[in-house]
Amino acid sequence: MAPKILAEPNKLWWFLPAAAAIALLYLLSPILAPFLFAAMLAYISNPTVNWLARHRVGRPLGAVLVMLFLGGVLVLLFLILLPLFIKEVALLSERLPGLLAQLNEDLVPWVKAKFDVDMQFDLAAIKKLIHQNLQGADGLGLKLLASLKIGGLAVLGFVVNLLLVPVVLFYLLRDWNALLARISRLLPRRWHAQVTTIASEIDAVLAEFLRGQIAVMLLMSVFYVLGLWLAGLEFALPIGIITGMLVFVPYVGMLTGLVLATLVALMQFPSVSGVVPVWLAFGIGQALEGMLVTPLLVGQRIGLHPVAVIFALLAFGQIFGFFGILLALPASAALLVGLRHLGREYLNSSLYKN
């Protein structure tokens, strides 16, 4: 029978090391992000390394092969998105003055008539701004380099963290099973069964959430690319991929893609009616994701209330930055499993009953 950790009030001493661990986690948060991100990638990729190991591929070589595959996917996305992004910026610099001129002719008189508000887009100033900042890839690159000089230390820190991820990922993939076995041996024997049960439940939740979420991202990327292509949008491929890859953050992916697609559609189509099919694609995509794809591939096992999801995203983002947003939902799901067990122990303890 599993021990009752909360059976007596005098056994609550373990809250002290737990509180100390949380405080240490907060103090070390600036350097923990790449380690946590690498751990998440290792958790997702470890089954593939195990499969390679069963087929007589050593774990070090298997870890390298998995990392090469992940790096190849990242490079492929970069090669797809970067040229199209540069092309979109060039197209924006060409078409934005004409769009603003049309707004001066159509929108400004309507606003004046309806709300008695005088407004006017200064086309000369906007053209000058575009010429200085967005005129071609070279100008854009120079502006980016200038911004890198301003935030040099921040960029350096980001690059160092980014370089740490593959290093940590390799060692975690190589030694994952050995690390788990070592942790299991260090657990107190009277808590071993209970901790193992909790860890198994967390593993089940994370496996369903993380791997299911990857399937959702891939499927929704394909849907948005096809939907925007059928809507006639020129940049259906990059916007569809960006939208699909960001669906793991509730509402952020859809809103980001919707804003980008709407801006491109306004520049591409001669009238606002051309934007309607784009909005329709996003509406159908959001409905499919919420009512069919996510429940089918991820399910309700994570069990987080929508308010808890929003809080987790904000809290983890505040502590760990961008990587914190990636870690928020799976970490919250794991924490929820532990809290459920803790709640059951508390309800069965003398501290609650007496």
What's the average pLDDT block by block, 10 residues per block, for the chain (354 residues)? Answer: 45 62 71 80 88 90 92 84 72 69 68 66 58 51 51 61 85 90 83 79 76 84 92 84 80 81 79 83 86 70 63 72 68 74 75 70
Confidence at residue 158, expressed as pLDDT on a 0 to 100 scale: 65
Confidence at residue 172, expressed as pLDDT on a 0 to 100 scale: 92
Confidence at residue 52, expressed as pLDDT on a 0 to 100 scale: 92
**Of the candidates 159, 218, 208, 162, which has an alpha carbon nearest to the alpha carbon of residue 334?**
208
DSSP string, 82-96: HHHHHHHHHHHHHHH
Confidence at residue 4, expressed as pLDDT on a 0 to 100 scale: 47
pTM of the model: 0.65
Ordered alpha helix ranges (H), 116-207: 123-133, 136-150, 152-186, 189-206
Confidence at residue 222, expressed as pLDDT on a 0 to 100 scale: 92
Rounded distance between C-alpha atoms, residue 199 and residue 305, angstroms:
22
* Long-range CB pairs of 83-90, under 8 A, 24+ apart, other chains included: 84/235, 84/237, 84/238, 85/238, 86/137, 86/140, 88/235, 88/238, 88/264, 89/134, 89/137, 89/140, 90/134, 90/136, 90/137
Domain boundaries, the chain: 32-186
Rounded distance between C-alpha atoms, residue 225 and residue 219, angstroms:
10
Confidence at residue 316, expressed as pLDDT on a 0 to 100 scale: 74
